[in-house]
C-alpha cells in the first residue's frame, strides 16, 4: 500500500507554528483498523483522510470529497484544523482548480473557500448553556487548582465544557497556566465531557495585536493532553463570545506554546465562518 501523505500546520502562516495535521489522500476506502493505525503512526493530534467519492473523481478537478478525522486514540466527529489542513493540501500542493471544496463528514457537509490570504471554513455553530458548578467542581479544581473562574458553560452538542477565567487575568496568565489533565478522564467518566476549553476575554490593542478572546483546549478523553489550535472548540467559543461581546465578527488567539490565529464571522444561516492560514511542511508517501 502506497498513499500520498502530507503534514500541514494549520491556523498559521509560519512553519512549525499553529496545529500540525497529517493529510492522507485516498482513492478508495481502507480497512477500518488501518485508519486508526495510520493515525497512531503519524502521532499528531489529528490525521485526516480525504477520499474520492466516485471512481472518476480526481483530486485536481473534483470539488467534493469524503473526509474523516482520527486522533491517535479514536475517530472524532469534527476537526477544524485538520479540515483546514486538508483544504490547504488540495489547494496549494495538488493545485485543485476550484475556489470552494465540499467535504462530506460525520458533522455533515463542510465547505472550505480559498481567499487571497487564507482559507475560510464553513462550520456548524454550537450554542452553550450555563453549567451548574457543583457538577464539574472537582474536574475544574483538578485541572486548574484555585484559578479564579468567572463563568462556566456547557455545549451538549459537542460535549465540551467551557470555563471562562476571571477578567482580572491577562493573556500571559493563560499562556503560562499549568493545567493538570492526567486524571480528568477518571474524574469525569460519564461521557458528558469530552473536551475542556479554558477561555479569557481579550485585551485592547496597543503595541500587541488585539484579539477579542483567548483560549486553550484540552481533550485527554480522546488522547490529547492539549491541542495546539482547535477549530472545533471555536464552533463553541464563537457562540459564547458573540453573546458576551455582542459581536458577529471577532479575532481569536489560541494560547498554546505553538499558538494560532483565527478569524470568526457568524453567518445569518446560524453557522460560523472560521478563517485561517495554513502551511504545508511535509510531503511524502506512506508505505505499509
Residues annotated as catalytic (active site), given as ranges = 46
Count Cα neighbours of 36 within 13 Å in the Cβ-side half-sphere. 9
- SS3 state of residue 206: coil
Distance in angstroms between the alpha carbons of the first and the last residue of the chain: 5
Phi/psi of residue 188, each to 5°?
-115, 95
Distance CA 73, CA 268 (A): 36
Distance CA 16, CA 18 (A): 7
82 contacts: CB under 8 Å, gap ≥ 6: 10, 21, 23, 46, 47, 48, 69
Q: Which cell numbers in the block locate residue 190?
A: 460519564
Residue 228: closest CA among 46, 78, 105: 46
Q: Which cell numbers in the block locate residue 109?
A: 457537509
Q: How far is CA 188 from the centre of its chain?
A: 22
Other Cβ atoms within 10 Å of 26 Cβ, number: 17
Q: Which cell numbers in the block locate residue 142?
A: 483538578
Amino acid at each position: 500500500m502506497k498513499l500520498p501523505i502530507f503534514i500541514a500546520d494549520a491556523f498559521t502562516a509560519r512553519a512549525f507554528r499553529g496545529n500540525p495535521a497529517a493529510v492522507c489522500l485516498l482513492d478508495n476506502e481502507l480497512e477500518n483498523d488501518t485508519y486508526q493505525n495510520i493515525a497512531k503512526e503519524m502521532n499528531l493530534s489529528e490525521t485526516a483522510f480525504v477520499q474520492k467519492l466516485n471512481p472518476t473523481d480526481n483530486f485536481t478537478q473534483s470539488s467534493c470529497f469524503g473526509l474523516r478525522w482520527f486522533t491517535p486514540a479514536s475517530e472524532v466527529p469534527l476537526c477544524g484544523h485538520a479540515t483546514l489542513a486538508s483544504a490547504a493540501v488540495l489547494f496549494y500542493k495538488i493545485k485543485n482548480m476550484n475556489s470552494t471544496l465540499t467535504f462530506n463528514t460525520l458533522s455533515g457537509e463542510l465547505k472550505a473557500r480559498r481567499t487571497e490570504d487564507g482559507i475560510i471554513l464553513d462550520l456548524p455553530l454550537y450554542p452553550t448553556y450555563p453549567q451548574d458548578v457543583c457538577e464539574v467542581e472537582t474536574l475544574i479544581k483538578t485541572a486548574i487548582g484555585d484559578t479564579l473562574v468567572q463563568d462556566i458553560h456547557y455545549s451538549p452538542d459537542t460535549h465540551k465544557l467551557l470555563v471562562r477565567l476571571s477578567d482580572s487575568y491577562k493573556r500571559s496568565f493563560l499562556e503560562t497556566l499549568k493545567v493538570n489533565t492526567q486524571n480528568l478522564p477518571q474524574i469525569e467518566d460519564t461521557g458528558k465531557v469530552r473536551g475542556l476549553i479554558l477561555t479569557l476575554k481579550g485585551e485592547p490593542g496597543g503595541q500587541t495585536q488585539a484579539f477579542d478572546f483567548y483560549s486553550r483546549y484540552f481533550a485527554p478523553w480522546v488522547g490529547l493532553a492539549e491541542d495546539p489550535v482547535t477549530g472545533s472548540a471555536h464552533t463553541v467559543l464563537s457562540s459564547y463570545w458573540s453573546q458576551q461581546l455582542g459581536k458577529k465578527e471577532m479575532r481569536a488567539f489560541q494560547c498554546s506554546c505553538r499558538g494560532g490565529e483565527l478569524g470568526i464571522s457568524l453567518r445569518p444561516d446560524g453557522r460560523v465562518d472560521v478563517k485561517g492560514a495554513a502551511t504545508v511542511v511535509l510531503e511524502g508517501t506512506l508505505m505499509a
